[in-house]
Amino acid sequence: MADIVNYNHDFEKIIAIIEQSKMRAIKAVNTEMIEMYWQIGRYISEKAEQEGWGKSVVQDFAQFLKQTYPAVSGFSAQNIWRMKQFYETYKDSEKLSPLVREITWSNNLLIMAGCKTDESREFYLKLCAANHYGKRELERQIDSMLFERTMLSTAKNKELIERNPVVGALRDSYVLEFLAMPEEYKEKDLRKSIIANLKNFILEFGKDFTFMGEEYRVQVGNTDFFIDLLFYNRALACLVAVELKVGKFKPEHLGQLNFYLEALNRDVKKTNENPSVGLILCANKDDAVVEYALSSSLSPAMIADYTLQLPDKKILEEKLREIAMLSGEDENGV
C-alpha cells in the first residue's frame, strides 16, 4: 500500500503527459479540418470567379459527396458555401488567416456571422484561442458586445491606463445579464448572486481572474474591514479588490477602495506579487465625477458601471464612432 502511495505522484505526472498528448492530437485534427475547409473554400471561390459556379453547383456537389461518403457529415450545401465565404473573408489577411486554424469551425462561423471588421475578428479569434472558449462561451461574448465595450473602455480611459497600465486589464463597463436580479435589491443580494453565478462572472470579468473570497477580511489596528470580492489576476500577478455599489458612484467610494488596497499591499500581498488593483462596480456613474476622482488617485483603480441587460449594439457602435471622430481616426475602422 505504501508503495502505491509513493508512486502516486509519478502516476499523476504520466496522466498529465497523456492528457497533454490528447490535447495536441485534438488540436492537430482540428487544424487539419480547418485547412481542408480552407482549401475547399478556395477551390469553390476560384471556380465561382472563373466559371460562374453558384449555389446550384454547390448543391450538386453536396449531393455527390453524400452519395460518395455517406458516413461523413459536415458537408451540407450550406456548410460548403460557408467554406467559400470563410476563405474569401480571410484570404487577403496574412495576420488573421493563421489564427482561424487555432479555433473550431463552429467558433469560426460565430465570428464570421457576428463581426464586420478585421479588428473585431482579430479580437475574438485571439480571445477564443487564448481562453479555449466553447461555442456557448464565445456566443455570449459576442452577444454582450465585448469587443465594442473593450474598445470604448480603452479609448475613454486612455490617460488613466497610460498612468497605470495594469488597469487596462479592467473595463469601465460590465454586463451581468446572467444574474437575473429582482427590480429592487441590496449590495449583499448582488454579491450573493455573483457568487452563485461565479462561472459566468469570471467569463465576463476575464479568465485570468481567480476568486479569492467574498467579504474578505482585512484587519487594520483593532478594526476589521471587509472587501466585497477579492480576486487574483494571474497575468498581472496581483490581488484585485472589487467593491459593489448598487447606487451611483460617489468620490468617497474611491477613498474606501484606496484604503483597502493599502491594507492588502501591507498585510496580504506576497513579496513576489505586484501592488493590488481595485475596481468599483456601481449601478451608474457620471464620467466627469469619475475623471475628477481618478485624476488625483495614486492607486491603480477603475470605476465601472454594470448593466443587467445585454447592451444595445447600435448605441455602442455610435459611441465608438464618436470617439473615433474625436480622436481623428477613420470611423470606417470601427
CB 110 within 8 Å of CB 143 = no
Assigned C-alpha cell, 196: 452563485
Interval 208-221 mean pLDDT: 96
pLDDT at position 18 is 81
Q: Could you tell me which residue, 180 or 264, shows the higher pLDDT?
A: 264
Q: Is residue 199's pLDDT more than 60? A: yes
Query: What is the pLDDT averaged over residues 296-312?
Result: 92
Q: 237: closest CA among 277, 284, 206?
A: 277
Tell which wins on pLDDT, 303 or 7.
Answer: 303
Q: 121: which 3 cell numbers?
A: 475578428
What are the pLDDT digits (tens) for 241-265?
999 999 999 999 999 999 999 999 9
Least confident of 15-24, 44-53, 161-170, 306-315: 15-24
What pLDDT does 23 receive? 76
Report the distance separating Cα 222 and Cα 224, nearest Å: 7
- Whole-number average pLDDT of the chain: 91
H helix or E strand, kind and range, residue 247: strand 238-248
Using only C-alpha atoms, the chain has a radius of gyration, in whole angstroms, of 25
| pLDDT for 327 | 66
Instruction: For residue range 64-111, list pLDDT tens digits in order.
Output: 998 998 888 889 999 999 999 999 999 999 999 999 999 999 999 999
DSSP H/E element including 215: strand 209-220
Model pLDDT, residue 248: 97
How many CB atoms are closer than 10 A to CB 31? 13
3-state secondary structure 280-319: EEEEECCHHHHHHHHHCCCCCEEEEEEECCCCCHHHHHHH
CA–CA distance, 239 with 231 (Å, rounded to integer): 6
Query: What is residue 7's predicted lDDT score, i.e. its pLDDT?
Result: 64
* pLDDT band of 331, cuts 50, 70, 90: very low
Q: What is the largest CA-CA distance in the chain?
A: 83
Please say if the pLDDT value at position 61 is more than 70: yes
Using alpha carbons only, what angle is made at residue 62 by residues 57 and 66, rounded to the nearest 5 degrees?
A: 145
